[in-house]
Structure 1
Amino acid sequence: MSSRTHDVHAPRRANRSLFRRLWWLWTLLGVLGIGGVLYATDLVMSEGTVPRGVSVGGVDIGGMSPNQAEVRLRNQLADEVKTPVDVTAGGLETTVDPVTSGLTVDWDATVDQAGEQPKNPITRVTSFWQTREVGTVSHFNDNLVNGTVRRVADDLSQDASNATLAINDQGKADIADDVDGQSVEQDAVDAAIRDNWLNTDHRVSVDADVTRAAVSREEADKVAREVVDKVTSGDLVFAGRDNVEGVLRPADMGRVVTFVPDGDSLRTDWNTEAAKEILTGQLGQTEVEFRNANFEVNGNDLTVIPSQDGVEIDWEKTLDKLQDKLLDTRERHHDVTYNDRKATYTTEMAEKATFDDVMGEFSTDGFASDSGVNIRRVAEQVNGAIVLPGETFSLNGYTGPRGEAQGYVDAGVIQDGHADTAVGGGISQFATTLYNASYFAGMEDVAHTAHSYYISRYPAGREATVYEGAIDLQFKNTFDTPVLIQASADSSSVSVKLRGVRHVDVESIPGAKTNYTDPERIELEGDKCSPSSGSRGFTTTDTRVVRDLSGREVSRNTTTTKYDPSPIVTCKK
């Protein structure tokens, strides 16, 4: 018969063993419970704030409300976003001021891009020690940005510069390096500024398209060796008369020898005029001014101004082949070439001259009082003029400017066929008078211009007009004796006489008036308008017959003059 022994403590030990096996589970459940409470609490308390660990430009805004974050960013990044930005391309650099260029930060959008609080509990836990940098969101004023981009593109672009070569005032080669040119695309500049203006180093880089200079430093160095070194090797001496020398020194060569780009080379230019100017200052004393004899007129008294034979440097021959002379480093001495010029009208001729004969004379009248002021003034200027044998008299050249400063006044003129006024009006009446006096004196007609419209107080086909700087009256004394011009005018008439030795008799043969044309009608307004009945235009001729004093015909010349019709003018009231 068997027996069974019972352990009364076995159930208790089994319970303790089960508890020991499940304690980690209870612990885990406790931790999870506490974590859940903490998660829920953190989730509720951080609702509506910027996620923890978020920073913008190194400024922590995690856990703040959006308003607080914006305020902090504005305060701490204010100077940063206003800092000028350096923009570079190739070898050029310029600066952009964000304030004036329309570059700003959209603070609301910057804070918004940080996002919402994460729901992932792991992310929420790691955010306590991890940080997350988010970028700024820019705002652009397109009008200001576009203007800045254009300016920056200009600043970062430049034309290529050739190497240059010159001779300085010490007679040495002065060389400037060639500089590459470059250009940038405005679109590239725009994108670079918009994307990178808030870089931490405040620098933006743009790619540049580079163009090379045509003339290199190597080319300038080569020309300096081949040209500059030679022309500045020593003084270039020109020996003149009376032991006087003209010298082109190395320091002068910069004016005489210059260099200009020619494709990818430097062309050498040889300035003969500059060399002449330098040498004239030294050799001028070896020249003697040429002067034909002349007369000083003082009323009825004439004093002879003696003639003088001239000595002139023949610069063309002296500076012939200047380039070769400058480049020759061995032969640096040359002779000056002179021309001796004898007076064609000598003192002896002038002392024998007489002005007893009236060679030609003419008078006109019928001018207005204001024109009379100018006629008397020009007569005063021309009276006493001498025209030497072989010389040409120019009315414009002799009087010079005829303006208010010279005593001339506003007076009547014919403008486009009708009356008008201008300073110096009336001078053409003197020109006509002088022209006719020279005509009958047998002077050669070099230049004269008839009026466009016929003026009845002048002989048709035998009159002249002048205009300062444009239309001149010129005649030449072809005789071997001098001519004295006597001119006078009063309130109603002007007279001109050419005095000297009478050589010829002159006859004027007027031609018929033909090819008449009728005037047109025009209407003018203004205080200066003067009504006119107009006149017909026509064509006429004048034949000048010149005979010597024995009656033999020397020449016969016919001049044809066409006059336009003068318009019929009515004035608007």
Structure 2
Amino acid sequence: ASAPPRARAPAASAGPLGGLGGKPGQDSTTTPPIFRDPDPAPGGGAPAEHVSGETLVSGIPVVPPTGNRPGSPFPPAGSGTDAPAPAAEDATPPSGPKPPAAPAAARPKKKGRSKLVMAVGALVVLGGIAYGAGLVMNHADVPNGTTVLGVDIGGTSKETAVQKLDTALEGRTTAPLKVSVDGQQKEIKPSVAGLTLDTEATVRGVAGRDYNPVTVIGSLFGGTHQAEPVVTIDEEKLKDALERLAGTSGTAREGTIKFEPGKAVAVYGKAGKALDVDKAVAAVDEAFRQRAATGQNKVITLPVVTKQPQISNAEVDRKMRTFAKPAMSALVKVQTDPAHSLPLSPQNSLWKVLSMRVVDGKLVEHYDLNALKELYGGFFDGVLIERGNGSKQPVAPTDVAVALAKALQGKTPAERIGIIETNGS
């Protein structure tokens, strides 16, 4: 039998698409393509340099799907095929410093806070204006609004301020202090006891410009500034005044000698209650300050103790014999020269100057310099004494007391003249 006839390949069309594999309208599935895609690379996916037939037809390259872009870690959307998971090291973030975090969005400013800032600024401006006005108006020696013990001395000169304090506080500082010693009422004069409210020192302490904003602004609205007064206490004078007071109060009595007009009187001591002088000094000091501050003249109860006399009867007798009786026996004179000779008699003068003090269990004579100055007054005016340093100075109470002490020991009229040397020898 003869072999079946071999099928012949269809002839190529001479049409416009004949060179591309078929006649128009012919099913392309029956004709093998002239170009074919190369075999896919291992692992799936199209080759990187693949050019589709559509590129040749249209001349426009097809943009690959988003999922197939090089470097994308995600599989194509809707591909239905799971892409291989990236390696673990790919998920590790790169080493090195982290980028700075993005700043948080600023919150919108609140209107209330802005108003508060404006209000504070306005207050600062007003305060500055008020402070400047206060400085301009506060140009006196004593700043406006200054008070001392309730006395307004602000806005005045220093001299006027001193006068106002002296006038307003005179009764508080010069009137006698009332004291009680073991039930006995006594008085102490501040001038004798060394108690002083120094108005001049007080004014000096408050005079001058005040730059404190609180007081400067406050003075514009009637504000006041209380200044502390300067109180001076001469403890030696105060103790002396209290010791003399102790000799006339309490049931205890110290041995001493009293000087009365024309004579000296022996006083023998006895045990009993007596003024505690050391504690009384502090009590009188505090009471004087309180009276100056309040104006209230209350009775000061002074502390007392049971006391034995320090001076024996024998010591009293000795001092009467060696000093008191000779001193009060006759008139004495104190002079710098015959033209300046001051007489002092036992009846009118000497008893005001002389007293006794206890020193180490002994009686020692004491001269009251203030009383002595009152006695001679201006008698030695114009007389100058040449001092050891070469300077020439007026006669002082101490000069008179030294000459008087020598004269009191004299027995004849010539010996009872005390000479004040003026040539410094």
TM-score by length of 2: 0.34
Higher percent of residues as helix: 2
Name whichever structure is richer in strand by fraction: 1
- Larger Rg computed on CA atoms: 2
Higher relative contact order structure (alpha carbons within 8 Å, sequence separation ≥ 6) = 2
